[in-house]
Amino acid sequence: MFRTHFTVVLWFLCTFFPVRAKALEDREWWRHAVFYELCPRSFQDTKGTGVGDLNGITARLDYLRGLGVDALWLTPCFPSPQVDFGYDVADYRAIDPRFGTLQDFDRLVAEARRRGIRVVLDLVVNHTSDQHPWFLASRSSRRSPRRDWYVWRDGRGPGRPPCNWLSLFGGSAWTLDPVTGQYYYHYFYPQQPDLNWRNPAVRREMLDVTRWWYQRGVAGFRLDAVDTVFEDPALPDNPLLPGKNAFGDPNMVNRHNYKLQEVHGLLRDLRRAADPYGAVLLGETYTDSIPELQAYYGNGRNELQLPTGHMLAMAETLSAPEFRKRIDALEAMDAWPVWVFGNHDLARAVTRFGDGVHDDAIAKDLAALLLTLRGTPILYYGEELGMASHEPGRREDVVDPMARLGWPSAKRRDGARTPMQWDAGPAAGFTTGTPWLPVPLDAATRNVAVETGDPGSVLNFYRGLTALRRGSRALLEGDYQDLAPADPSLLCYLRRSQDEAVLVAVNLSPEPRKLDLGPALDGWPAARAKLLLGSGASGPEGGLPGELEPYGVVIVALAQEQHPVPAAAAGPAGS
């Protein structure tokens, strides 16, 4: 009998899958890259302020390289009053002193580059801070040259905003500015006034901002809130729905200020600016609709390379049929998929999908899916440790203003932004000061140092997966074939390239399950299967494991010479 063992597996990986540096050089590098989202304020503090900084990220680059990360996406680190933790930018061409200096940033980019890691920034396109000099000028007078850089309108009468649109963070989306007697529009907080992208000067300036960062070595942008950039200038009221939301506001359909088609023109402009630099554009594009997701790539692939549909992240439960449905939907799309389980706005994946008993096994299942499905994976920092959300228990402990307003249903964001857990020392090695959010109690045992020493840890499973992926043509470029096992608790698929096939089998149930793929594996002799990586899989020596333990997962290489794959099956070219 074998039980999957990390050391054996790592030996196998290093022997048969040497690192392929080539993947980092090509222009479509983002197809093969493992992206890692991190919040600078939560990753590593080097100054004892309790808030992480850029030098902290630089100090941890070797860890990230060892984890197999190819690209970092940093949540905003521009100067900001931090009302929305950086998503309220006061200067697009500088670094917030809390996080360091431009020189620190340049050093981070250079040191990352030395390790083959690219740096992607978060561009807040929809709005600025109300402290941005553009807005200060805009609000100063109706005749200000910057007036039309934002969305200003007269009210419908005393105390009546221009229309009934609501802010996502509670209350009206219009705030009356007493100085000029007009209302300005903000889809988010009043401190985040919306830019007027219909003004060509705004568009020119923001495109220049992107070029300025590309010239500094930035490898691309994650575009924040692209769905809210445009609104109907005629300001029709949105239709109301029954009931109230977490903020006590009426439910409504955001028909006239959300997902307007004009955004595609803007995405094409941003892409034209990115292409000469070989830069990538990720987009915050929540949707369950495949046609809508497909549209973000652009006709002719001239918009976002990586729109994040959050298809798996938005699944209500951990269920193989539900996951299969979502995977099939992305697979059917004529474009390169992006896989995400968590981010800084969602409760952590283990909290949403865990059962409190098998959480580590479930974290490994999610890791296996993230890193072996066809497409680009985006990890959220701490996911590789199996970190769970640590939500505040009392309203007075909440630091996210939106969560205070929408208490208790909106508290998830603090919970998912707690400090990275490095070791069992004070504040988990994150800071020598008082961390800006409390360090979760499980940090004493769930941390990088402890998990590094445990061959069966979630962290070592991630390391094994990224090493496997990096060296496997089938996983990087191969097609996807659902093996549709009869047992509805299992997800099983093949990834095949011309000379290689990898089988992934995941048991998404709390009971052991027989792994009997029967005729589905016709032509791929199970006896010749070679274990690559697994957890909770047992069976006879060699071949496929006969059983997967609760939430067990196994990844095996199949003998390729028995079943050559036709060239046309190697995945849609140019998608």
> How many of the other CB atoms lie within 10 Å of CB of 292?
15
Residue closer to ligand NOJ by CB (options 228, 538) is: 228
Q: How far is the CB of 308 from ligand NOJ (least distance, A)?
A: 10
Residue closer to ligand NOJ by CB (options 256, 344) is: 344
Residue closer to ligand NOJ by CB (options 61, 304) is: 304
Catalytic residue among 84, 224, 479, 549: 224
Residue closer to ligand NOJ by CB (options 326, 344) is: 344
Q: How far is the CB of 222 from ligand NOJ (least distance, A)?
A: 9
Q: Whose structure tokens read 């549909």?
A: 309
Residue closer to ligand NOJ by CB (options 80, 509) is: 80
Residue closer to ligand NOJ by CB (options 231, 359) is: 231
Listed in sequence order, the residues at least 6 apart from 304 whose beta carbon sits closer than 8 Å to its beta carbon are: 223, 267, 271, 281, 282, 283, 285, 296, 297, 298
To the nearest 10 degrees (0 to 180), the angle between helices 458-471 and 6-16 is: 20
Listed in sequence order, the residues at least 6 apart from 400 whose beta carbon sits closer than 8 Å to its beta carbon are: 85, 410, 411, 413, 414
Q: How far is the CB of 192 from ligand NOJ (least distance, A)?
A: 6
Q: How far is the CB of 217 from ligand NOJ (least distance, A)?
A: 24
Q: How far is the CB of 344 from ligand NOJ (least distance, A)?
A: 6
> How many of the other CB atoms lie within 10 Å of CB of 308?
24
Q: Whose structure tokens read 């580059």?
A: 113
- What one-character DSSP code corresponds to residue 374? S
Residue closer to ligand NOJ by CB (options 150, 480) is: 150
Where on the chain is the footprint of ligand NOJ (CB under 6 A)? 84, 87, 124, 188, 224-225, 284, 344-345
Q: How far is the CB of 112 from ligand NOJ (least distance, A)?
A: 22
Question: Is the separation of the CB atoms in 124 and 79 below 8 Å?
Answer: no
Q: Which residues of 16-44 are buried (b: 16+ CB within 10 A; e: fewer)?
A: ebeeeeebbeeeebbbbbbbbbbbbbbbb
To the nearest 10 degrees (0 to 180), the angle between helices 359-372 and 458-471 is: 10
SS3 513: strand
When CB distances to ligand NOJ are compared, the closest residue is 87
Catalytic residue check, 224: yes
Catalytic residue among 284, 360, 383, 477: 284
Residue closer to ligand NOJ by CB (options 39, 119) is: 39
Listed in sequence order, the residues at least 6 apart from 91 whose beta carbon sits closer than 8 Å to its beta carbon are: 78, 79, 132, 133
CA geometry: angle 536, 542, 547, nearest 5 deg:
35
Q: How far is the CB of 549 from ligand NOJ (least distance, A)?
A: 36
Dihedral sign from CA coordinates of 370, 376, 380, 381: positive
- What one-character DSSP code corresponds to residue 180? T
**CA–CA distance, 30 with 278 (Å, rounded to integer):** 10
Listed in sequence order, the residues at least 6 apart from 204 whose beta carbon sits closer than 8 Å to its beta carbon are: none
Question: Is the separation of the CB atoms in 407 and 429 below 8 Å?
Answer: no
Question: Is the separation of the CB atoms in 22 and 31 below 8 Å?
Answer: no
Q: How far is the CB of 248 from ligand NOJ (least distance, A)?
A: 20
Catalytic residue check, 154: no
**CA–CA distance, 115 with 359 (Å, rounded to integer):** 32
Residue positions annotated with a catalytic role:
224, 284
